[in-house]
């Protein structure tokens, strides 16, 4: 089940103290579609001041878990690789008694949404990150522009392709790049051979992580 709490939030515009309901956890397998859609659209994080009507996005941690599909994504705004989750928080949320669950961190709302999308598609997020990093270079060469970011946007089992949407150049232009599923499979192999023991339950698997894994892989193959 989901859990919520009431938080006092001072309006950044008029300083009025609002009391808002925030979600601590959301359970994807029992809470139904409505709440999940609100989460993915960002509506759950929208703040509107009762007094002056000022609107803003709230940033707070929320754990999304789907036990049926065996994954949890812990969204902690602005977390990075060096600032692993607080041990107490990890203890409270990891449900250590559950085996065979993939536990991930996400440091931005877009990463959070992407993780949920990947796991719901039954894909391996480590392989996706590695494939994406490889495609950054391809897109950069093709467009002659710097790639600012990208996310998983399409998967076709029938055609054997996966697709990513990238943002390139100063204007953040959208560039869609698809690739063969074999690239994904090769990436999954690389991920499987990468051993890392962070001693943590929740792991941050993002662009930096994938770059590091690819670096280690290339080094090994040079020897
Ligand atoms: Zn206000």
Q: What is the pLDDT of residues 25-43, one digit of tens each?
A: 999 888 878 888 999 999 9
Calculate what percentage of the chain has a pLDDT beyond 90: 72
**Run of H or E including 117:** helix 109-120
Predicted model pTM: 0.88
Average pLDDT, whole number, for the chain?
A: 90
- Ligand 1 geometric centre to CA of 12 (Å): 7
Could you give the angle at the alpha carbon of 130 between the alpha carbons of 126 and 131, nearest 5°? 115
Give the Å distances, CA to CA, from 136 to 145, 155, 178, 205, 207: 10, 18, 12, 16, 10
Cα 9 to middle of ligand 1, angstroms = 10
Distance 44 CA to ligand 1 centre (A): 18
Q: How far is the CA of 50 from the centre of ligand 1 (A)?
A: 7
Give Rg (Cα) of the chain.
19
User: Per-residue pLDDT tens for 74-96?
Assistant: 999 877 655 656 667 777 777 77
For residue 36, how far is its CA from the centre of ligand 1 (angstroms)? 28
Does residue 153 surpass a pLDDT of 80? yes
Name which of 113, 131, 102 is nearest 213 in CA terms: 131
Cα gap 56→59, rounded to integer Å: 10
């Amino acid at each position: 089940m989901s859990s919520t709490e009431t938080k006092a939030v001072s309006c950044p515009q008029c300083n009025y103290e609002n009391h808002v309901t925030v979600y601590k956890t959301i359970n994807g397998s029992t809470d139904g579609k409505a709440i999940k859609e609100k989460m993915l659209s960002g509506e759950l994080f929208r703040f509107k001041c009762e007094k002056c009507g000022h609107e803003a996005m709230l940033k707070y941690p929320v754990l999304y878990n789907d036990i049926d599909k065996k994954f949890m994504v812990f969204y902690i705004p602005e977390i990075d690789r060096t600032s692993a989750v607080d041990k107490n928080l990890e203890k409270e949320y990891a449900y250590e008694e559950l085996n065979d669950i993939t536990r991930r961190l996400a440091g931005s709302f877009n990463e959070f949404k992407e993780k949920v999308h990947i796991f719901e598609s039954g894909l391996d997020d480590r392989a996706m990150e590695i494939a994406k990093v490889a495609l950054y270079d391809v897109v950069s060469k093709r467009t002659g522009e710097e790639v600012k970011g990208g996310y998983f946007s399409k998967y076709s089992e029938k055609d054997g392709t996966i697709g990513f949407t990238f943002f390139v150049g100063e204007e953040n232009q959208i560039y869609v790049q698809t690739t063969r599923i074999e690239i994904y499979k090769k990436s999954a192999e690389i991920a499987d051979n990468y051993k890392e023991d962070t001693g943590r339950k929740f792991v941050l698997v993002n662009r930096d992580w994938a770059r590091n894994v690819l670096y280690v892989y290339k080094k090994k193959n040079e020897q």
